[in-house]
Amino acid sequence: MLEVWGRPYSSNVIPVIWAVAETGIDWQLKLAGGSFGKLDTPEYAAMNPNRMIPMIRDGDFALWESNAIIRYIADIYGKEHLSPTNQKMRAEADQWMEWCQTRAFPPVIQAFFATVRTEPDKRDVSLISKHADEAADILSILDDHLKERLFVTGDTFTIGDIPLGCVAYRYFNIEIERPSFPHLEAWYARLSERPAYKKHVMRFFGKTPEDWAALEESSATEGT
């Protein structure tokens, strides 16, 4: 059975879990990282010398780095519906996955840490506004791209939607000012109809560090 090592509230683990869930295969969550530990053990280091999450183990094969894992899952278990068979579409999906990692994810996760992961009385309003503006500037590119298409690579959901879909959930559910993004919002609404997205991405993550810690602790029942 395929194993996903990580925490179900981790921003880098969530896209992997979502990708696996979209395939319908049997899989198991192996809790690791944060309060769950295990990363400093020799056994884990033998699988992932970075001692970070996520990591998967598929039989005797171990793989780390979230986008690489998503591509592997799609190619091995989701070829019919996650991995585009058209090479140009696949390249476009890869392009947007990389764009997510380098451009869209950083300002959104910084806004997330400046709000949800910071005590209310210690939040820097100007810093939050700065991250929100940066996120909006970047996501306006995606909004324009989605003007005449249902999903990132066209009319079909693919791996290109997965990392960005996770970023979108955080962006639309943190307490920041956001401009209107009609095409981005419509795409987000379409993703929200997918059962795997609802279950594994659309998790309430709280509004304070205490909320976050309590929710993550409660996730201990989800894996081993």
Q: Which of 37, 65, 81 is the last residue of a domain?
A: 81
Beta-carbon-side half-sphere exposure of residue 90 (alpha carbons within 13 Å):
14
**pLDDT tens sequence across 157-189:** 999 999 999 999 999 999 999 999 999 999 999
Same-domain check for residues 99 and 131: yes
Q: Is 19 in contact with 69 (CB distance < 8 Å)? A: yes
Please report which helix (H) or strand (E) contains residue 6, including its range: strand 2-6
Q: What is the CATH number of the domain that holds 47?
A: 3.40.30.10
Same domain for 52 and 141:
no
Place of tokens 């996650």: 82
pLDDT (0 to 100) of residue 111: 98
Give residue 219's pLDDT: 87
Look up the pTM and report it: 0.96
- Bond into 15 cis (ω within 30): no
Domain final residue pick, 81, 108, 124: 81
For residue 10, what pLDDT is reported?
A: 95
**What are the pLDDT digits (tens) for 137-161?**
999 999 999 999 999 999 999 999 9
Same domain assignment for residues 91 and 176: yes
Distances from the Cα of 15 to the Cα of 60, 70, 106, 222, angstroms: 22, 8, 15, 16
pLDDT value, residue 220: 79
List C-alpha distances in Å: 154 to 115, 124, 135, 167, 215: 34, 39, 23, 19, 36
Enclosing domain of residue 150: 87-193
Task: CATH number of the domain at 148, please.
Answer: 1.20.1050.10
The per-residue pLDDT for 202 is 98
Residues of the chain with pLDDT below 70 are: none
